[in-house]
Amino acid sequence: MLKAIIIKFIYFLFMIKVALVDDHQLFRKSLSLLLSSCEGISVVYDTSDGMAFLKYLEEAELDVLLLDLEMPIVHGSDVCKQAKFIDPDLKVIILSQLTSKEAVHQVMEIGANGYFTKNSSPDILEDAIRNVFDKDYYFDIALSTVIREALLWKRKRNTFSDTPSVHLTPREIQIIQLATKEKCSKEIADSLNISTRTVEKHRKHIMEKTDSKNFIGVILYALKSNLILLEDV
């Protein structure tokens, strides 16, 4: 009996712990049921109340938050910002029906790690969760054109003009370029013949240097500095 409890506890430690915050109960419960069938993923909390979630987060250990933008009382963007303040390592995927470049731009600005449209196939959601957990960012492939438009729109508005120039080492530039090809830290480590831990340290330093909330911010900086091309994203 004790052995079974220990095994269950160890298994839970290595699960990707997910929370759902969405004011549509049927959608939320359906999503929770779907994710419960995914190996290595556990929905540990769900609510329609953004404030209740933030209180929960202060005491909880969580890996990924699936968050609706359009919610009453507290808007999803405010929940995202406060959640990132409480736990900077939390990965946030925005769930929304909005697919305009302005909506995608807003997601980039609030520090979310990814964007998943509610019109997408539910099967893709598991990949989205694993991507933000392993690679720090994810955008629904159906939004690829819109994402490029949002990045181009951001450039045209000169929102990079006040971004200070920083020195990135050749190794750091390599890591950014590999990350844009959707490689996780282990895959990057294998490509460069270095340890995964070293890659994680580089990623952290790159984010600090570029003053980025997540790796989406790093990619935006790399685009501004012509370290990568828009076509690479």
pLDDT in tens, 196-230: 889 888 888 888 888 877 777 787 778 777 777 66
Residue 104: CATH number of its domain: 3.40.50.2300
The percent of residues in the chain predicted with pLDDT above 70, rounded, is 77
Is residue 82 very low, low, confident or very high in pLDDT (cuts 50, 70, 90)? very high
Q: Are 92 and 80 in contact (CB under 8 A)?
A: yes
Average pLDDT over the chain, rounded to an integer: 79
**Best mean pLDDT range from 71-75, 87-91, 215-219:** 87-91
Q: Are residues 50 and 133 in the same domain?
A: yes
Q: What are phi and psi of 128, to 5 degrees?
A: -60, -45
Nearest alpha carbon to residue 226 among 163, 157, 140, 135: 163
Residue 107 domain boundaries: 2-152
pLDDT, tens digit, for every residue of 163-173?
Answer: 557 788 889 98
Is residue 143 very low, low, confident or very high in pLDDT (cuts 50, 70, 90)? low
Q: Are residues 81 and 185 in the same domain?
A: no
Q: What are phi and psi of 95, to 5 degrees?
A: -105, 125
Residue that finishes a domain, picked among 86, 120, 152: 152
Is residue 57 very low, low, confident or very high in pLDDT (cuts 50, 70, 90)? very high
pLDDT, tens digit, for every residue of 10-51?
Answer: 444 568 999 999 988 888 888 888 898 888 999 999 999 999
Average pLDDT over residues 105-113: 77
Q: DSSP code of 21?
A: E
* Residue 100 pLDDT > 70: no
Each residue of 172-201: b (16+ CB within 10 Å) or e?
beebbebbbeebbbebbbeeeeeeeeebee
Q: Are residues 109 and 188 in the same domain?
A: no
Residue that finishes a domain, picked among 96, 131, 152: 152
Side chain identity, residue 77: S
Q: How many domains does the chain have?
A: 2
